[in-house]
Amino acid sequence: MTEKMLKFTKVDQQTPNKRKVNSRVDNFEEIYDEFIHEKAKEQSSRCSQCGVPFCQVHCPLNNNIPDWLKLTAEGRLKEASELAHSTNNMPEVCGRICPQDRLCEGNCVIEQSGHGTVTIGSVEKYITDNAWEKGWIKPIVIEKEINLSVGIIGSGPAGLACAEELRKIGYQVTIYDRYDRPGGLLIYGIPNFKLEKFVVERRTKLLKDSGIKFQQNIEIGKDKTLKELKEKHDAILIATGVYKAREVNIPGHNLKNIFPAMEFLTASNRKGLGDNVKEFENGTLNSENKNVVVIGGGDTAMDCVRTAIRQNAKSVKCIYRRDKENMPGSVREVNNAEEEGIEFIWLSNPKKFIGSDKVSSLLVEKMKLGEPDSSGRKKPEVIPNSEFEIKADIAIKALGFDPENLPKLFNDSNLLLSKWGTIKVNIKSMETSIDGIFAAGDIVRGASLVVWAIKDGRDAALSIQKYLENKQLKKIKAA
Ligand SMILES: Cc1cc2nc3c(=O)[nH]c(=O)nc-3n(C[C@H](O)[C@H](O)[C@H](O)COP(=O)(O)OP(=O)(O)OC[C@H]3O[C@@H](n4cnc5c(N)ncnc54)[C@H](O)[C@@H]3O)c2cc1C
Ligand code: SF4
């Protein structure tokens, strides 16, 4: 791959070394713009415009990929951007962070025939970044505002997508979020090296400029009740995500310097956003010159190890109880992490955190894979007397997330849950067990993907529109 070509790869595929190369060549922006444009054109021209667009079928948003590739190949970039936006509220985000190898690109016919996929995600990112640069992406202008309002709890991708779709129709929309910045996991979860924060901020600014109201630092269930929201708005969307970190309940778990993944990632993201983060400044949540151990094998664990290496950790180890083939995280992410110098200790399980006040090491036991369990996955079993110790100045728990207990938090037992603790909805309408309250995103699916949250948000908006129209009709009939 030549230096110039590097700029066309996704940020998350780039190692720190490659990124250094990029910053060197940033001075040649003009030559680059031309090059990137040519590269996007070249990639788009590779699309065979096959009869059955498997890429489109495997995109959760059913994006019209073949058509926007064709438009890009023909240099009709404004139309390509409009088409990309017709099904997706943030194509530049999905272009950067969708696991395309499992979605559109993994199902590209050219990939299937062994010739390497069209880089759909990169083209999607290019089309939209270019549209932003050219000033083609404009706030929504409402001809006549409808005198009905929707309250949205949560400003992650599900809440934002729903808000935008409802605003386009003309509804009054207010988003409530307990964080100080909108964006949900886009802003404080996903690291900057995968998704640059300006990309999220310019989207949320656009929505503010479109007349959507944002109320930050408001936790529903604490600062305002669900009942208050129901009284204030004509419909509600719950899009609160899943945040309860799974615990590692082994001896020593109360020692200092053992952190949940989100605490570690949020501090790093806040720092990147220019905040004064006390725990980072005083070294507590900074990996520099430290031995870091991350427990877990999913994408969040990969984000933690890759963040730690960028903070110049002395060593970064990831311990996971199964082997590489059976990791839940994306293979691409694991390969990136390995390339960046992270050491994976496969088939290993934490047995004890060791230390007097702070953690200083981890006692780990070796595992082997036994017979498949009820889920069909091979069950990890402990190998007796196989313990060994690894140094750890910081240990990060990245074992996944569960939903918080929302009926309790919202003080409403009518809000029914699934057996996994997620909100139960009618899958056709996204409506919960309470009339006029809808739900979308991770709080319905469990920890999932941005593209699915956007899809849910859009679907919920359609149902909320129907619900409000019916409500209006009933009022008119009753009058
Ligand atoms: C570290 C990490 C990395 C990830 N990387 C990727 C990736 O590369 N690609 C990908 O596709 N997906 C990724 N994901 C998953 C993706 O981020 C989520 O699936 C997606 O953000 C879910 O969107 P959401 O809108 O449902 O919830 P969220 O993004 O979680 O947003 C929920 C919002 O609700 C707010 N909230 C919660 N409770 C309340 C309350 N009571 N009152 C007010 N506000 C409240 C929260 O503050 C938050 O802002 C990652 C997840 C994590 C944790
Ligand atoms: S939204 Fe995701 S899955 Fe769909 S085309 Fe874009 S990158 Fe592929």
pLDDT of 418 > 60? The answer is yes
pLDDT of residue 20: 45
Ligand that lies nearest to the alpha carbon of residue 95, given by its number in the listed order:
2
Q: What are phi and psi of 122, to 5 degrees?
A: -65, -35
> Where does the pLDDT of residue 427 fall: very low under 50, low under 70, confident under 90, or very high at 90 and above?
very high
Which pLDDT value is given to residue 32?
Answer: 63
**pLDDT 10s digits, 310-354:** 999 999 999 999 999 888 877 888 898 999 999 999 999 999 999
Cα 243 to middle of ligand 2, angstroms: 25
Protein residues whose CB sits closer than 6 Å to any atom of ligand 2: 59, 61, 63, 65, 88, 94-95, 98, 100, 103-104, 120-121, 124, 451
Determine contact, residues 181/198, Cβ cutoff 8 Å: no
Q: Which ligand is nearest to the CA of 216?
A: 1
* Ligand 2 atom, smallest distance to 105 CA: 8
Å from CA of 235 to ligand 2 middle:
30
The average confidence (pLDDT) of the chain is 92
Contact 188/90 with Cβ under 8 angstroms? Answer: no
The residue with greater pLDDT, 388 or 472, is: 388
Contact 122/10 with Cβ under 8 angstroms? yes
349 C-alpha to ligand 1 centroid (Å) = 27
Q: Is 186:269 a contact under the CB 8 Å cutoff?
A: no
CB atoms within 10 A of CB 4: 17
Going by DSSP bridges, is the β-strand pair 437-439/258-260 parallel, antiparallel, or unpaired?
A: unpaired
Looking at residue 429, what is its pLDDT?
A: 97
- Is the pLDDT at 238 greater than 50, yes or no? yes
Secondary structure element (H or E) that encloses residue 391, with its range: strand 388-391
| pLDDT over 70, % of the chain | 93
- Asked if 359 and 252 touch (Cβ cutoff 8 Å), the reply is yes
CA distance 432 to 121: 33
For ligand 1, atom 17, the nearest C-alpha belongs to 185
Whether the CB of 300 sits within 6 Å of ligand 1: yes
Q: What is the pLDDT of residues 23-72, one digit of tens each?
A: 444 455 666 677 788 889 888 989 889 888 999 999 999 999 999 999 99
Extract the tokens encoding 62: 């059913």
Distance 151 CA to ligand 1 centre (A): 18
Q: Work out whether the CA dihedral 82, 83, 84, 88 comes out positive or negative.
A: positive
> Strands, E, within 244-304: which ranges?
244-245, 258-260, 291-295
Closest residue (by CA) to atom 1 of ligand 2? 94
Question: Per-residue DSSP letters for 210-257?
Answer: TT-EEE-S--BTTTB-HHHHHHH-SEEEE-----EEPP--STTTTSBT
Which pLDDT score, from 0 to 100, does residue 3 have? 37
Tokens of 22: 């990029």
Residue whose CA lies nearest to ligand 1 atom number 27:
241
Mapped to the 3 state alphabet, what secondary structure does 108-127 carry?
Answer: CHHHHCCCCCCCHHHHHHHH
| pLDDT above 50 (res 15) | no
Q: In terms of pLDDT, which residue wins out, 33 or 301?
A: 301
Q: What's the pLDDT score for residue 29? A: 60
- Ligand 1 atom closest to the Cα of residue 222 is 41
Q: Single out the residue of 305, 320, 293, 316 nearest to residue 392, CA to CA.
A: 293
Q: What integer pLDDT is reported at residue 30 of this predicted model? A: 63
Position 18 pLDDT exceeds 70: no
Decide which of 39 and 212 is more confident. 212
Compute the distance from residue 443 Cα to the ligand 2 centre, in Å: 21
In the prediction, which pLDDT does 344 show? 96
pLDDT at 96 over 50: yes
On the question of pLDDT at 172 being above 60, the answer is yes
CA of 185 to the centre of ligand 1 (A): 4
Residue owning the nearest CA to atom 3 of ligand 1: 190
pLDDT digits (tens, 9 = 90+) for 242-285: 999 999 999 999 999 999 999 999 999 999 999 999 999 999 99
Q: Are 127 and 72 in contact (CB under 8 A)?
A: yes
Kindly give the distance from the C-alpha atom of residue 227 to the centroid of ligand 2, in angstroms, as a whole number: 37
- pLDDT at residue 171 above 50? yes
Pairing assessment for the beta strands 394-397 and 291-295 based on DSSP bridges: parallel
Written as six digits, the tokens of 382 are 């402990």
> pLDDT value at position 476?
87
Q: Distances in Å between the alpha carbon of 6 and those of 32, 182, 264, 277?
A: 11, 31, 29, 33
pLDDT per position as a tens digit, 183-203? 999 999 999 999 999 999 999
Mutate which of 103, 105, 123 for ligand 2? The one with the most ligand atoms within 8 Å of its CB, which is: 103
Q: Which of 90, 176, 185 to mutate to test the pocket of ligand 1 (most atoms within 8 A of CB)?
A: 185
333 lines ligand 1 (CB under 6 A): no
